[in-house]
Amino acid sequence: MRFMFLDIIKWKNLLYFIAIQFLLKTCLLYYQGFETIFSFPNFFILTISVVLILAGMNTIKFSVSHENRGKEYPWQKLRKTAYFSIFFGLTLWVLVSFVVDRAYYSFIGIALVFFLFIYFYFFGGKKSLSTNMITSFIKAFCFLTVWWMDTPVGLNESEWNLFFKIQLLVVFYVSIGFIATIVNSLLMDIINIDKDYRLNHKTIPILFGRKRVKSIIFFISIIGCLAVLSLAILFSSNKYIFTTVFLTGILPELYFIYHLLAANSNSDYQKLLKKSYVAYALAIFSVPIIAYYFKNVV
């Protein structure tokens, strides 16, 4: 039951959320010498509060989409756990907002929980391309909300210019993460097509077949590859940064696309899903190197 619950809340994605938040704060804020609204302990509390809220929402989504499976799962216990997780996460959010003397931040948390609960409870149980995109957008929005709340203080004009460039970089990385999440969701739909069919989900593979979904993934992956290429061109004047972006961004994406074109069986798509995680992890490794560029070159 414990391991099943970890899968329900998508614990790996939540760990990625925490790790990437702290990587960006460390490399792009702390390392650059910025003093921000949230100290590291307070930032940790805020991040954990969002993770608890997302864990609760994932549990609600699971219970709504699987409740027709009868008594196979302890639905009441799952939903009570979900409500407690959301309530505790929101409580932490409100408390840390008062600690940093930004009481109005608590209204952001309340509004976020309200809209997330409405979506996951009434629409989260349905599986389609639109719900995959909305769910991916929600994760990206939650990530950026935490990031934008932790604004630097006491900046001069040159520091504001640097922070603006860093903001654009973070939005770029989150956008790439948004694309990667959609791709992973489509791959999961292909892998779980038989299970989704039994649950009467109208996923894209069920409606249009694996080949068309494969074409959609290919198209989205090309967009992601072109986006990373644009970042490499932006830093083309610096060979070190250009090489880093090329090796950690473009090559892994091309490697993924190559194996995507060769994928046919369910096992091929399972392996491809793992390769997508590796490709995204390599892209994240470029963050410290680009942070060094901002610190010592810009």
Q: Can you give the pLDDT at residue 68?
A: 58
Q: What is the pLDDT of residue 3?
A: 47
CA-CA distance, 119 to 113, in Å (whole number)?
A: 10
Taking the C-alpha atoms of residue 240 and residue 292, their distance in angstroms, rounded to an integer, is: 11
Given phi > 0 = left and psi -120 to 50 = alpha, else beta, which region is 200? left
Extents of the domains making up the chain: 1-154, 155-298
- Both tokens assigned to 190: 């292909």
Could you please report the per-residue DSSP string of the chain?
-HHHHHHHTTHHHHHHHHHHHHHHIIIIIITTT--BSS-HHHHHHHHHHHHHHHHHHHHHHHHHHHGGGGGGS-HHHHHHHHHHHHHHHHHHHHHHHHHTT-TTHHHHHHHHHHHHHHHHHHTTT--SHHHHHHHHHHHHHHHHHHHHHS-B-S--HHHHHHHHHHHHHHHHHHHHHHHHHHHHHHHHHHHTHHHHHHTT---HHHHH-HHHHHHHHHHHHHHHHHHHHHHHHHTTT-HHHHHHHIIIIIHHHHHHHHHHHH--SHHHHHHHHHHHHHHHHHHHTHHHHHHHHHHHT-
pLDDT of residue 291: 84
pLDDT value of position 74: 72
Q: What is the mean pLDDT of each run of 10 residues along the chain (298 residues)?
A: 71 89 91 91 96 94 71 74 95 97 96 94 75 86 93 88 87 88 90 81 83 92 91 79 86 93 91 88 83 75
Q: Does domain 155-298 have CATH number 1.20.120?
A: yes
Quote the pLDDT of residue 73: 64
Instruction: Give residue 27's Cα distance to chain centre.
Output: 18
What pLDDT is attached to residue 22? 92
Largest CA distance in the chain: 62
Rounded to 5 degrees, what are φ and ψ at 272?
A: -65, -35
- Cα separation, 216 vs 202, in Å, equals 16
Q: Are 147 and 21 in contact (CB under 8 A)?
A: yes
- The single residue listed with the structure tokens 């590291």 is 40
Global pTM reads 0.88
Distance CA 278, CA 283 (A): 9
Q: Give the whole-angstrom CA distance, residue 191 versus residue 267.
A: 8
For residue 66, what are the CA distances in angstroms to 87, 117, 135? 23, 17, 18
